[in-house]
Amino acid sequence: ARHVLSRAYQADGFVNMAHEAMTAALRLARQLNDVPQIGAALDGIVRILTKAEAPEAALECLEEEVRLASAAGSTSRELAALERVAKLQSRLGKHNEGSQKAEQVVQLARGGCRKRDLARALKLVAEVNMAAKRQEEAMDAAISAQSLFQELGDTHGLTAIWRLVLAVHKERDDDAETIRAWEDMTKVFEQAGHKLEAARLSRERAQWLLERKGLSAALEPARHERRLLESANDKEEIAKSMLWLCDCSTFIQRHPDEAFYNADAARKVFLRLGDIDGEVRALRALSQVHLSKFPEKAVKCSQEALEIARKAGGKRSQAVALQCVADVHAKLILRDVELGLMPSESIIEDAIGASMDASALFTMHGDDTGQVDTLVQASRLHLLLDEVEPALQAALTAVDAAQRLEEPRTQGRALLAVAKAYKLSGHAREMKQAAEQARGHFEAVGDAGGAAEVRRLLKGSRHLKSGDTFQAEFEQIWQRLYSDPSAPPPPQLPDLEEATSAESTHRLTTFPESLGGELKWYIWNGIWYAANSRIAEYCEGGEQKEKLASAAEDFQRMDKHFLTAKLERILPVASIRSIGKQAEAAGIAACDSALAGRSLAATSVQAHAAPRGVHNALWAILVQAVRLAAAAVTEKMMELPSSDSGASSEDEHPARGKGLGKGLGPAKALARPIGFAARGMSGHGAPLIDVRELEVAAEERRARILARPPPPSEAPEEAEELCLAGPASPAAGQAEWR
């Protein structure tokens, strides 16, 4: 009862009350001297305190248990408490202290008469050393523990040791040893008669080989898994194994006949078992098989899956069926696009609607994997319609769901969708950040295909530029405006230069460096003056005053450079003012683009006529430089939440103005809310999901959590053992709470 009460308090966020309830449970367990209950209560207290960011308090509680167990003379209780202390210290990064506690556990176990305690102690040493990245010490302890577990016939302990060995080999990128460890584990389970466990290990090896080496290497363990399941006569698991291969698009492409046989046979099995979810998944696999040659059959399979799911009324099967419909529509649409055809918007919107409906259903059932798949697909379809904001929002929501899964490949796919949306919107900096993060996730799991897709995206996005890139290109072009230092200076204008006719004015083809330097800062400050003045119109109160003050300072600096350029007496005053007007027009265009959340297009800055005294060729280069400066200002305004108006790094022009930040652009929103279905495939606008169903489902989940029994303790070793003499119960360990 105290356990249930503590979990209820945790669910409502009452940490102190949850801690008090669990402490009371620990006190009762100690009075009963019930070692399993003591362990369960201690684990609950550690979870509460760790979540409340009080790990030191959790350590003190465990240390107290060590002292009490030692005083009571209970060796098993003391061993369990010391093991918990060592593991917690290791998780907190106190590796030396954790190693000392683990050695203390070994010494205490050696003093006893149970080999099982010593094996567990050596396993603890291996785990602590593995966490500390001391791989050699971890392997030595693991080998010693392995021999003891083999002598005891403890398959459970052997499995834990093999997991450690696998982690070491994966850390070293030793593929041969990793595969050998998996094969040894599988053989032990086969010899013990545990066919289902051996099949599960074969599936793990196939999945790892598929990610690391491709389909060819994964086929043998996948087919070996099926043979093991056939020998165990587990029809349902055989069907699931067949569908697992069909989830790989490469398998469908290379082995279409086998893929069709697997999907069709799996469907028949699920049909006999009355498993609607399995039948829908099999129909989805059949639709994927038919897509390459018989698209009309693929569409028929997807429609049949949706009809079966709707008749059954199961939300999860409906989600899978809608995902199947969206898959078929999306792939047919993308194939048309590759052929140069553009489907109608209504067809694409139908596919988006199915994806979003499926996402809502997966969300209601807590299926983060399905939610990520459907949201990534919806984002891709939105991009076909050039709907950047819905595509980006769907991709960002997929990233949130992927983070809950903590699976690098899934996170990489979601981040890649974000990068593609940012590419279409022209946000180079955000696109590169998302792409680099996606590549890191793909490389972490050895997904060469995902990493290659990221490289292709980055290669195809070289036209996107950040503010610094535009500024560097401006500097390069501006250097082309300068005269050769050895060239004679241009003639100066008379004092009454305004009275001079246009025909008698010398037309400059280059600028002397002294005049060019003044004009450069005259242009930059002119762009920022116009941009800050423009953005002040959209602000209120103190922020508006700040923008106007920044614009006034920009104008003062602009005026200073104007006077200095005027004193050069090389260009007429009217011509200098014309250059300033061109800069101000560019500044207004930069502000408008930043407010709209997009990069500045060159055509957005209209070129004025060449002023008197400036050759047309020189004016064309100058306008090009002004456009680059305006593009840099646009990116700076979007990049920085609080940016200086001076886009240059020149110390004499300290930055003053503020950037756009996140608050002035239009708010991004989904085309339809994720929590509720839109039109979907019903054709009548009727939603498949109602908000009341979501609330009821949430209440049911919460009730199940509160009704959950206390977590099992690690204490009674005999209960954990899977004896080598015969197979374990197929149902053992199958129930797992999310």
Any idea which of 16-20, 460-464, 634-638, 709-713 has the lowest mean pLDDT? 709-713
Sorted by sequence, the CB contacts under 8 Å of residue 728 that are 6+ apart come out as 194, 197, 722
Has residue 229 been placed in a domain?
no
For the chain, the first-to-last Cα distance in angstroms comes to 22
Q: Of 616, 638, 660, which residue is a domain's last? A: 638
CA distance 664 to 645: 17
b/e burial code for range 352-363 (CB count within 10 A of at least 16 → b) = bbbbbbbbbbbb
CA distance 675 to 358: 10
Has residue 450 been placed in a domain?
yes
Residues 246 and 340 placed together within one structural domain of the fold:
yes
Q: Cα torsion for 457, 250, 393, 460, to the nearest 10°?
A: 10
Looking at residue 378, which CATH number applies to its domain?
A: 1.25.40.10
Q: What range defines the domain where residue 561 resides?
A: 465-486+509-638
Q: What pLDDT score was predicted for residue 327?
A: 84
Q: What pLDDT score was predicted for residue 496?
A: 43
Per the structure, how many domains does the chain have?
A: 3
Q: Of 638, 669, 698, which residue is a domain's last? A: 638
Q: Which residue has the tokens 């149902």?
A: 731
CA distance 676 to 108: 59
Q: What pLDDT score was predicted for residue 648?
A: 40
Q: Of 614, 638, 662, which residue is a domain's last? A: 638
Residues 476 and 429 placed together within one structural domain of the fold:
no
Residues 381 and 245 placed together within one structural domain of the fold:
no
Q: What is the mean pLDDT of residues 197-206?
A: 87
Confidence band for 467, pLDDT divided at 50, 70 and 90: low
Residues 455 and 586 placed together within one structural domain of the fold:
no
Residues 259 and 309 placed together within one structural domain of the fold:
yes
Of 317, 318, 332, nearest to 287 by C-alpha is 332
Q: Does the pLDDT of residue 671 top 70, yes or no?
A: no
For residue range 312-351, what is the model confidence (pLDDT) as tens digits? 888 888 888 888 888 888 888 877 777 777 777 777 888 8
Q: Does the pLDDT of residue 209 top 80, yes or no?
A: yes
Q: What pLDDT score was predicted for residue 79?
A: 86
Has residue 572 been placed in a domain?
yes
Higher-pLDDT residue of 511 and 298 is 298
Q: What pLDDT score was predicted for residue 463?
A: 56
Any idea which of 212-221, 439-448, 524-533, 681-690 has the lowest mean pLDDT? 681-690
Has residue 316 been placed in a domain?
yes
Has residue 441 been placed in a domain?
yes
Q: What pLDDT score was predicted for residue 28?
A: 93
Residues 283 and 384 placed together within one structural domain of the fold:
no
Confidence band for 485, pLDDT divided at 50, 70 and 90: low
Confidence band for 470, pLDDT divided at 50, 70 and 90: confident
Enter the tokens of residue 179: 């595969």
Any idea which of 71-80, 327-336, 484-493 has the lowest mean pLDDT? 484-493
Residues 333 and 407 placed together within one structural domain of the fold:
no
Per the CB < 8 A criterion, the answer to whether 191 and 158 are in contact is no
Q: What is the mean pLDDT of residues 164-184?
A: 82
For residue range 627-647, what is the model confidence (pLDDT) as tens digits? 888 888 887 787 654 434 444
Q: What is the mean pLDDT of the chain?
A: 78
For residue range 548-604, what is the model confidence (pLDDT) as tens digits? 998 899 999 989 888 988 888 878 888 889 998 999 999 999 898 888 877 787 777
For residue range 234-292, what is the model confidence (pLDDT) as tens digits? 888 888 888 888 877 778 888 888 889 989 999 999 999 899 989 999 998 999 898 87
Residue 591 sits at φ, ψ, to 5 deg, of -65, -45
Residues 449 and 515 placed together within one structural domain of the fold:
no
Residues 563 and 474 placed together within one structural domain of the fold:
yes
CA distance 678 to 670: 11
Q: What is the mean pLDDT of residues 376-383?
A: 89
Residues 327 and 421 placed together within one structural domain of the fold:
no
pTM: 0.54
Residues 335 and 389 placed together within one structural domain of the fold:
no
Q: Does the pLDDT of residue 74 top 50, yes or no?
A: yes
CA distance 87 to 102: 9
Q: What pLDDT score was predicted for residue 59?
A: 87
Q: Does the pLDDT of residue 8 top 70, yes or no?
A: yes
Residues 326 and 450 placed together within one structural domain of the fold:
no
Q: Does the pLDDT of residue 677 top 50, yes or no?
A: no
Has residue 724 been placed in a domain?
no
Has residue 703 been placed in a domain?
no
